[in-house]
């Protein structure tokens, strides 16, 4: 498949991506919404900036390190569902363009007392944390 022929594509769902580098061909497209489902990759290291990307969703991915997402300069909305290996969500707070983060059913250590303070120090004004649900919920809005 030739990427050039997809120049008008704005929404993309990728099932079972193995590596992040495979997504680097998307950097030249006008993708605004990207959903990665059941990904085998463990980090976003090596990801190129997808300048048009506004919303990123991760579903059932094996990712544990989120620091590589800092390259995304336009993303404003990040959602994560059942990504059980995520170690730390603090790198998401350092993405300056992000306005909303929604995390459900991930195994992040949300008992960290400093987590809410950390997000507040990065400009997030509304933080919702519900640990007593069947799936822990964390939401932060700037």
* In the predicted structure, residue 106 carries a pLDDT above the cut 50: yes
Number of compact structural domains in the chain: 1
**CA dist list (Å): 96 to 44, 49, 68, 100:** 17, 14, 14, 11
Position with higher pLDDT, 18 vs 38: 38
Lookup: tokens for 18: 């193995």
What is the pTM for the complete model shown?
A: 0.88
Inter-residue contact 21 to 44 (CB < 8 Å): no
Which pLDDT tens digit goes with each residue over 26-74? 777 788 999 999 999 999 988 888 889 999 999 999 999 999 999 999 9
Identify the CATH number of the domain in which residue 7 sits. Answer: 3.80.10
Using CA atoms, how far apart are residues 3 and 84, in angstroms rounded to an integer?
32
pLDDT bucket at 80, cuts 50 / 70 / 90: very high
Q: Which domain holds residue 26?
A: 3-141
């Amino acid at each position: 498949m030739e990427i050039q022929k997809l120049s008008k594509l704005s929404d993309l769902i990728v099932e079972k991506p193995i590596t992040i580098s495979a997504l680097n061909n998307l950097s030249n497209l006008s993708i605004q919404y990207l959903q990665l489902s059941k990904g085998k990759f463990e980090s976003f290291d090596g990801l190129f900036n997808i300048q048009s990307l506004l919303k990123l969703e991760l579903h059932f991915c094996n990712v544990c390190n989120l620091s590589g997402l800092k390259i995304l300069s336009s993303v404003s909305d990040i959602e994560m569902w059942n990504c059980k290996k995520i170690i730390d969500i603090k790198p998401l707070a350092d993405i300056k363009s992000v306005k909303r983060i929604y995390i459900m059913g991930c195994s992040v250590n949300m008992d960290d007392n400093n987590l809410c303070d950390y997000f507040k120090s990065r400009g997030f004004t509304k933080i919702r944390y519900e640990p007593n649900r069947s799936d822990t919920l964390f939401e932060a809005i700037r």
